[in-house]
Amino acid sequence: MAALVFAWLLFATLPDGVAVVWRLADLRLSGQERLEIAVVAAVPVVFARRWPTQVLGLLLAEVLASAAAELTSPAWLPATACVLFAVAVTRPRRVSFTAMMVALGAWAATTALQPPGKASMVANPLTHGFGVVLLALAVALVSGVLIRERREHAAAMRGQAAAHAVTAERLRIARDLHDMVAHSIGIIAIQSGAARRVMDTQPDNARDALAAIEAASQETLAGLRHMLGALRQAKSDAEGTDGVPVTGLADVERLAVMAAEAGIQVDVRWGGLRRPLPPEIEVSAFRIIQEAVTNVVRHAGTPRCRVAVEFREDELAVEVTDDGRGGAPEGAGYGLAGMRERVSLLQGDFTAGPRPEGGFRVAVRIPA
């Protein structure tokens, strides 16, 4: 389209006469000859997007040749500016400024080729002074450089967003694996130790411990199948895979039963009006409770803990407390870090630490 516009403008504004070898002879141009000149001159512009620097060189050569032949036309300047703009958009800044200097040099050279008082103000932009050329080319250069930098900035931001998304997904998978596997492995370790100690003297208790190990193993395998299926099919946490339901607050009672089999009595208290919550809140709340109970099993050295879940009007409050040794210190390991990340992603508040009266407390408030 730009080439067609340039050809039409050039045909409409080319003079009828042409000087041969600096006015040694004059020729008259017919309409067809002017059309042929305009088409030939405009052909390189078709390739300006692909080879902008080469096209700019050809166009500047045409400008010099037209000045030598006194084929002055106002179409040369906008064509030069458009091709310079293409250079600035697609090439590095150093190349763009070099092209600008070359273009200014070529247009300055045309000044020496202009016969004094020959061209009218309409036919020749140099009649208005070299400042018009400088202004037009400078606007083209600056516009192209700004657009190129804006595109590069947008591409860099997209790259950063993609890298952030990859990092966030890796952290999410790490949290899910830690919460799921650490809880089950903790129960399996305790139950296997108990089964080994009572295998000869209390075979019934040993069988119960092995049954608990089997149940924990099956739950972990089901959770891993669900996670791998979701990753393969790019599904969200809210969807099930292979018929495995997504964990949520409804599984807290089952978690208490499994903890009881591991020797920890979990007292669960519900407050407020129980209602369905968004899946991401349900999953995060359950995983936080699961990790907190796992820490009690592994670190607290106490036979019981308390879990309080309160459904408030605009938030969900979860608290897990025990009377043990105080649990892991704040910031230690991946468990507390994972809980804090889950709550932060949901714009909630998270606190964890030893209680003044003894034991450990994990408290979470998540906007609902």
pLDDT score of 329 = 47
pLDDT score of 4 = 61
Second-level CATH architecture of 161-367: 2-Layer Sandwich (3.30)
pLDDT score of 71 = 67
pLDDT score of 310 = 94
Find where tokens 């089901």 sit: 222
Overall residue count recorded for the chain in this entry:
368
pLDDT score of 123 = 41
Domain borders along the chain are 2-128, 161-367
- One digit per residue, the tens of pLDDT, for the chain of length 368 reads 665 655 555 545 555 544 444 444 455 555 555 566 666 666 667 777 788 888 888 888 877 777 776 666 667 778 888 888 888 888 888 888 998 898 888 888 877 666 555 444 334 555 556 677 888 888 888 998 899 888 888 888 887 877 777 777 777 777 777 777 776 777 777 778 878 888 888 888 788 778 778 777 877 777 777 667 666 665 444 444 444 445 789 889 988 888 887 778 999 999 999 888 988 899 889 989 988 888 888 777 888 899 999 999 899 999 999 988 765 544 455 678 888 888 888 889 999 989 888 889 999 999 98
Instruction: Give phi and psi for 217, each to the nearest 5.
Output: -65, -45
Instruction: Tally Cβ neighbours within 10 Å of residue 98.
Output: 14
pLDDT score of 120 = 40
Given CA atoms 79, 82, 83, 84 in this order, what sign does their dihedral have?
positive
Give the span between the Cα atoms of 291 and 340, in whole angstroms.
11
